[in-house]
Structure 1
Amino acid sequence: MLRNDYDLNTLLSFACSSDLEHVNVSVQNGPFIPHGEDDSGNQEDDSTIEWSYVPQDRVDTLSKYCHHEPKILLTASWAQAIREVGQLFEGGVNEFRRVLKMYSMEVGFEYDLVKNTKEQIIAACKRRESNNCMWHVYATLQKINGYFYIRTLNNIHACGGAIRTTKNSRMSSELVASLISGKIRDKLLTRPTDVVYDFKVNYGLDITYHYAWWGVERAKNEIFDYQSLSFDLLRWYKEETEKTNLRSIIEIDYDSNIGRFKRVFVSFYACIYGFWYCRPIVFLDGTFLKGRYKGNLLAATAKDGDQGNPTCT
């Protein structure tokens, strides 16, 4: 309830910026007359009068004055993720489970998995007993092609509990990873805080830092494989290379205190042998300076004939 001297434009600006669907207005100490409306009606000049306006029959009265365009979230298409009998999911049971989660989150209801195996899934509305809601979906695996098909679907909610919220119990790090995998591929240094903000703004969902962190780690592992296994393969690569390429040099540098990998140096013997017959040359190299001096510094390098050591001028 606004008790200060607010005009209609200020009230509408607040309502538009807040993305309100319905407006309930209570006015004290004066009438509420929108600009452009006929004020010839009788208004009681009583400082204690209260005038309330509630939209009737769920009519969007706010859109008459506020012409802002509602933001379309990235989850809008999820409402059509579960559509009809015969719909197929090429990713098998994993894809069907993921799509079912997305569908329930966008439509805004909870479900129970009556049967949940790799070959059959039966999901029913969580309020099937308390509110006698008959929504359910039954999907099975087609062993010939490995696809999942919807066999039975009752897509009508009779419980009245389909309300979309920013939080959902079906949210998981696996779902987060599947949604951000493309972003992780383009931007490897994506932080969990970036994921939390992205889900809030673009998906309209609130996720915890825990789900965001594990989602980033899962996405990296799916794209680049597990890092711990890749480091283990370095030791195998060093041993096999030294066996098959004799006199090659491979050095793995790591922090001996914590065992963390730092860098690896590889020099095959064929490359080392080839450089023995290279003739001495003089070359120029440019080093770009990032300080006050805006330019580059030229350096000449040659092989000293007396000492056999390279010199720089």
Structure 2
Amino acid sequence: MLRSDYDLNTLISFACSVGLEHVNVSVYDGPFIPQIEDDASSQENHMMIDSSSGHQDGADMLSKYCHHEPKILLTASWAQAIRDVGQPFEGGVGQFRRALKMYSMEVGFEYDFVKNTKERVIATCRRRATNNCMWRMNATLQKINGYFYIRSLNNIHTCGAAIRTTKNSRMSSELVASLIRDKVRDKPLTRPTDVVYDFKESYGLDITYHHAWWGVDRAKNELFGHQSLSYDLLRWYKEETERTNPGSIIEIDYDINTGRFKRVFVSFYACIYGFWYCRPMLFLDGTFLKGRYKGNLLAATAKDGDQDVVYAMVPTHKNKNRVKRIYANT
């Protein structure tokens, strides 16, 4: 009961905003009568409420007045990951375990393995001992084609624990990597914080930063190769380039004590040969001024016709930079 003067439109708007699916509303035409101590006057008030001619039976008003469409999460299809006896899994035991994990998250229950090998998996509900839940699954490997098949399935929970939650102990970085692989392929600079937000928004699941970070790292390794192996290929690239393109210069700089990679310099012989007939040019980095009139001095040098022109950033009294040309004879 609402102890306020809310009208029906306000109530329906509030229910829609919080995402309620059903609302039972009982309407009284008479004024609100506050609850008081149990005495003679209290009994009269209860009689007045019960005899109110404006009372209507509770009815679901949300579907009539609120026409919002419920949000469908990407996990909706997970409820069909485990269906019936004889269902095949072409990816073997790995695909079957992943499907079972996704199914339990969407349906909302925990399970334990009675047997978990590459050839047979038997799982039961975690509340089997305490609540005598009879949910049980048995799947085996078909050695002829390498598929995993469900051999027996009791898909009814008698423990009453099948309630979907935002957190699940079966969440792992392996599952996160399998779900974000396509996103990482399109956007290699995907951050773990983006993954945490996407899982909350699109899947309705709360995952830890730890799972997100290892999931991104695992997806990158599967798509682009392991990072340490990529650095190790630099030595092969240096040897092959110098062998097939004589005159090229490739220098790899690394920390002598730790062996950690720092930088690499690559200059192909064609580029070196092309610059032989170019006039030498001197380039200088800018020197930043930190005084009252901030600016940059002597940013770069370049050639202007037959003369060498030095372009410099000179600070002015208005704290703005202007370009000044300084001619130098060479």
Q: Secondary structure at the match of 2:112?
A: strand
Q: Is the 8 A contact 1:131 1:159 kept in 2?
A: yes
Give, as a single letter, the amino acid of the residue that structure 2 aligns with 1:115.
Answer: K
Q: Deviations over 1:247-268 (max 9, x none)?
A: 432223457798344344152x
Q: Deviations over 1:188-235 (max 9, x none)?
A: 121111111111111111111111111111111111111111001111
Q: Name the counterpart of 1:262.
A: 263
Q: Name the counterpart of 1:311.
A: none
Q: Secondary structure at the match of 1:123?
A: strand
Looking at structure 2, the residues matched to 266 and 156 of structure 1 have their Cα atoms a distance apart, in angstroms, of 68
Q: Name the counterpart of 1:143.
A: 143
Q: Name the counterpart of 2:20.
A: 20
Looking at structure 2, the residues matched to 118 and 302 of structure 1 have their Cα atoms a distance apart, in angstroms, of 76
The Cα shift of 1:15 comes to 0.9
Q: Name the counterpart of 1:283.
A: none
Alignment of 1:198-213 (within 5 A): 198-213=198-213
Q: Deviations over 1:131-182 (max 9, x none)?
A: 2222111111222222211111111222221111111111111111111111
Alignment of 1:219-234 (within 5 A): 219-234=219-234
Give, as a single letter, the amino acid of the residue that structure 2 aligns with 1:123.
Answer: A
Q: Deviations over 1:55-94 (max 9, x none)?
A: 97xx854223322110111000000100111211111111
Q: Is the 8 A contact 1:113 1:123 kept in 2?
A: yes
Q: Name the counterpart of 1:65.
A: 65
Q: Name the counterpart of 1:291.
A: none
The Cα shift of 1:239 comes to 2.8
Q: Name the counterpart of 1:171.
A: 171
Give, as a single letter, the amino acid of the residue that structure 1 aligns with 2:118.
Answer: K
Looking at structure 1, the residues matched to 197 and 306 of structure 2 have their Cα atoms a distance apart, in angstroms, of 57
Structure 2 residue 86 is matched with structure 1 residue 82: no
Q: Say if 1:274 and 1:65 are closer, same or farther in 2 by CA, change over 3 A.
A: same
Looking at structure 2, the residues matched to 231 and 80 of structure 1 have their Cα atoms a distance apart, in angstroms, of 43
Looking at structure 2, the residues matched to 124 and 178 of structure 1 have their Cα atoms a distance apart, in angstroms, of 25
Alignment of 1:1-313 (within 5 A): 2-23=2-23, 32-33=27-28, 39=29, 43=30, 46-48=33-35, 60-243=60-243, 245-253=245-253, 259-267=260-268, 271=270
Q: Deviations over 1:269-299 (max 9, x none)?
A: 5x479859x999xxxxxxxxxxxxxxxxxx9
Looking at structure 1, the residues matched to 63 and 170 of structure 2 have their Cα atoms a distance apart, in angstroms, of 34
Runs of 4+ in 1 over 6 A off after TM superposition: 255-258, 299-304
Give, as a single letter, the amino acid of the residue that structure 1 aligns with 2:225.
Answer: D
Q: Is the 8 A contact 2:79 2:106 kept in 1?
A: yes
- Structure 1 length normalisation: TM-score? 0.74
Q: Say if 1:6 and 1:262 are closer, same or farther in 2 by CA, change over 3 A.
A: farther
Q: Secondary structure at the match of 1:21?
A: coil
Looking at structure 1, the residues matched to 102 and 304 of structure 2 have their Cα atoms a distance apart, in angstroms, of 63
Give, as a single letter, the amino acid of the residue that structure 2 aligns with 1:219.
Answer: A
Instruction: Report which of the two structures shows the higher radius of gyration computed on alpha carbons.
Output: 2
Give, as a single letter, the amino acid of the residue that structure 2 aligns with 1:104.
Answer: S
Give, as a single letter, the amino acid of the residue that structure 2 aligns with 1:185.
Answer: R
Looking at structure 1, the residues matched to 178 and 119 of structure 2 have their Cα atoms a distance apart, in angstroms, of 22
Q: Say if 1:161 and 1:61 are closer, same or farther in 2 by CA, change over 3 A.
A: farther
Give, as a single letter, the amino acid of the residue that structure 1 aligns with 2:174.
Answer: E
Q: Say if 1:248 and 1:84 are closer, same or farther in 2 by CA, change over 3 A.
A: same
Looking at structure 2, the residues matched to 257 and 205 of structure 1 have their Cα atoms a distance apart, in angstroms, of 44
% identity of equivalent residues: 70
Q: Is the 8 A contact 1:21 1:60 kept in 2?
A: no
Q: Say if 1:144 and 1:187 are closer, same or farther in 2 by CA, change over 3 A.
A: same
Q: Is the 8 A contact 1:251 1:266 kept in 2?
A: no
Q: Is the 8 A contact 2:24 2:61 kept in 1?
A: no
Q: Secondary structure at the match of 1:238?
A: helix
Q: Say if 1:238 and 1:13 are closer, same or farther in 2 by CA, change over 3 A.
A: same
* Structure 2 unmatched runs, 5+: 36-44, 50-54, 279-301, 308-330
Q: Say if 1:23 and 1:249 are closer, same or farther in 2 by CA, change over 3 A.
A: same
Q: Name the counterpart of 2:286.
A: none
* Structure 1 unmatched runs, 5+: 26-30, 34-38, 281-298, 305-313
RMSD, aligned CA: 3.4
Q: Say if 1:247 and 1:102 are closer, same or farther in 2 by CA, change over 3 A.
A: same
Looking at structure 2, the residues matched to 134 and 97 of structure 1 have their Cα atoms a distance apart, in angstroms, of 20
Looking at structure 2, the residues matched to 92 and 232 of structure 1 have their Cα atoms a distance apart, in angstroms, of 33
Give, as a single letter, the amino acid of the residue that structure 2 aligns with 1:11.
Answer: L
- Structure 2 length normalisation: TM-score? 0.70
